[in-house]
A = this chain, B = another copy of it.
């Protein structure tokens, strides 16, 4: 995956770099915010760079100076997503594993646009040459590893149901979470994502 047309990558203010003022970081932030909003609304392919540039109050060329390609902009938006909804990883040993997951799922209901963006991109990025592929590959691995580690701890404490494989249960949680959120996006009135997740966790934990 190509990246890094400029320095910092994510978009933090880089006070140590190059001269008295660095408007670049702020401009990049503006662009990412608008791209984030438009991607969440219309999807990745449904949003044009000209649209995003206009929303951020600049020309197309200026946007492309900060982000060399639409792909670069996408990975910046994904990084921004992690920034905003951090706490997805499980702090080991802190509080109830199930409560933590359900609470996060409930919080997700406040940001349907973001969930939709994530769902769209995670499926779009399956194709071999997609710029977001590496991001989702790493993210799934990380989530499964986190959950499997937590479930292994619970198993050793005798709180995992007999015969349940922590690795399979971890993949199940990730899969169920994404799948039920997708159904919720279609029919929010008839799907309760948090309740469905809780129902599975109650089945597996004791």
Contact = CB atoms under 8 A, between A and B. Distances in A.
A97 interface: no
Given A137-B186, A179-B179, A180-B172, A43 B199 contact: no
17 contacts: A119-B123, A120-B124, A126-B185, A140-B187, A164-B199, A168-B195, A168-B196, A171-B191, A174-B179, A175-B175, A175-B179, A175-B182, A175-B183, A178-B178, A179-B179, A203-B203, A203-B204
Contact of A120 (B123, B165, B172, B200): B123
A171 B169 CA distance: 17
B175 A180 contact: yes
B124 A123 contact: yes
Interface residues of A, number: 45
B203 A175 contact: no
A116 interface: yes
Interface in A12-56: 41-43, 45-46
Give the most central of A168, A171, A196, A200: most B CB within 10 Å.
A171
